[in-house]
């Protein structure tokens, strides 16, 4: 297959930890031809979607890049969107361009319309039976009422990633007003508040779903002592562990819907018994799971991708 990966700048990727690079290494091992693009390499010329790509190959612990060329997205067997959030206007425009490319015959993973439609925080509302109690609002009085009810809550922006701007609030916190003013930008930015889950001390579990099927292991991201956030980017430690019965119930139920929506690679965040986020942009955790278990997530990804393109050698 000829596979394009839309990435953040290569120099910003951590070679030994990056999920995109792990998938790309597996693809090269299988003989597929790799290309890389940046977010703004996709464009329209008239009504036709076009993309600039560079042929990519791993060589001796590094990589080579050929000069950029322009082609139709339909010239490739798969386009893998792996640009990290934040989901700002430029990301939004990229999903529109990718949707146009898909409508013209390109095979885009994840489905760009579904990426756009599944906000990573709000999507848990589709599975309220698994979510902790939550409130979505920009109104500081409503958030205060929610805090008064639950006494211990988490507040987070709807477009954040990596644990950025996540706050834990309790009734005794002397900084409630300034935190709420800051995170809501004085009532002009909508945020999510969730009941605090003490099970975070056992880890914020990342469950990877590939084409509707969960991997058998979750990556429990355990917070530093005294820290609320388990995100690896916030200093958490990743520990792979088999899915619990509840994890499997959540993952299989959600996975069926994700597959129907064309969301091919997704990371669920589960704390204790509750689903807290559905990550559809560029979920991570594959490298850590592969290092600690007998499961190779990148291989599972390529198996599923090749299943979608059985006639491609």
Residue from 119, 140, 231, 279 carrying the catalytic annotation: 279
Contact 32, 23 (CB under 8 A): no
| Structure-block tokens of residue 6 | 């839309």
Of 82, 83, 221, 300, the catalytic one is 221
User: Of the candidates 222, 280, 213, which has an alpha carbon nearest to the alpha carbon of residue 248?
Assistant: 213
Catalytic (active site) residue 246: no
The β-bridge relationship of strands 62-65 and 48-59 is antiparallel
* Catalytic-labelled residue, pool 121, 195, 205, 300: 121
- Catalytic residue check, 279: yes
Which ranges of 131-264 would DSSP assign to H, the alpha helix?
140-150, 176-183, 245-260
Is 126 considered catalytic here?
Answer: no
Per-residue pLDDT, 48 = 98
**How confident is the model at residue 228, as a pLDDT?**
66
Catalytic residue selected from 206, 231, 247, 288: 206
Is 66 a catalytic site residue? no
In order along the chain (313 residues), what is the average pLDDT of each group of 10 residues?
A: 97 91 98 98 98 97 96 98 92 97 98 95 96 97 98 91 82 95 96 96 95 98 72 76 98 98 98 96 95 98 93 54
Residue 73 contacts residue 103 (beta carbons within 8 Å) = no
Residue-level pLDDT at 163? 63
Is the pTM of the predicted complex or chain greater than 0.75? yes
pLDDT for the residue numbered 83: 95
Annotated catalytic residue within 229, 231, 288, 300 = 229
Residue 221 among the catalytic residues? yes
Q: What domains, with CATH codes, occur in the chain?
A: 2-113 (3.40.50.20), 133-196 (3.30.1490.20), 199-295 (3.30.470.20)
Which residues fall within 8 angstroms of residue 134, CB to CB, at 6 or more apart?
124, 125, 192, 193, 194, 195
User: Quick one: pLDDT at residue 31?
Assistant: 97
**Is residue 52 annotated as a catalytic residue, yes or no?**
no
User: What is the rounded distance in angstroms from the CA atom of residue 264 to the CA atom of residue 301?
Assistant: 9
Selected catalytic residue, list 204, 277, 288, 300: 277
Catalytic residue (choose from 26, 77, 110, 156): 156
């Amino acid at each position: 297959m000829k596979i394009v990966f839309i990435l953040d700048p290569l120099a910003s990727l951590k070679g030994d930890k990056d999920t995109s690079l792990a998938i790309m290494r597996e693809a090269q091992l299988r003989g597929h031809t790799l290309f890389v693009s940046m977010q703004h390499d996709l464009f329209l010329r008239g009504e036709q979607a076009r993309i600039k790509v560079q042929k990519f190959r791993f060589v001796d612990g590094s990589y080579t890049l050929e000069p950029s060329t322009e082609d139709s997205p339909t010239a490739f067997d798969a386009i893998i969107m792996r640009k990290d959030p934040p989901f700002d206007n430029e990301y939004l425009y990229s999903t529109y361009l990718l949707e146009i490319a898909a409508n013209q015959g390109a095979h885009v993973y994840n489905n760009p319309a579904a990426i756009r439609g599944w906000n990573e925080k709000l999507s848990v509302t589709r599975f309220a039976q698994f979510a902790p109690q939550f409130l979505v609002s920009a109104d500081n009085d409503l958030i205060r009422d929610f805090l008064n009810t639950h006494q211990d809550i988490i507040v987070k922006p709807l477009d954040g990633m990596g644990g950025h701007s996540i706050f834990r609030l309790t009734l005794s916190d002397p900084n409630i007003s300034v935190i709420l003013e800051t995170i809501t930008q004085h009532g002009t930015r909508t945020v999510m508040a969730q009941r605090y889950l003490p099970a975070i001390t056992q880890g914020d579990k990342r469950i990877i779903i590939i084409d509707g099927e969960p991997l058998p292991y979750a990556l429990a991201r355990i917070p530093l002592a005294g820290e609320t956030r388990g995100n690896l980017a916030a200093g958490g430690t990743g520990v792979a562990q088999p899915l619990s019965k509840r994890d499997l119930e959540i993952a299989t139920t959600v996975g069926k819907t994700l597959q129907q929506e064309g969301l091919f690679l997704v990371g669920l965040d589960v704390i204790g018994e509750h689903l807290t986020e559905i990550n559809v942009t560029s979920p991570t955790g594959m490298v850590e799971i592969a290092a600690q278990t007998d499961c190779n997530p990148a291989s599972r990804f390529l198996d599923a991708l090749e299943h979608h393109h059985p006639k491609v050698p």
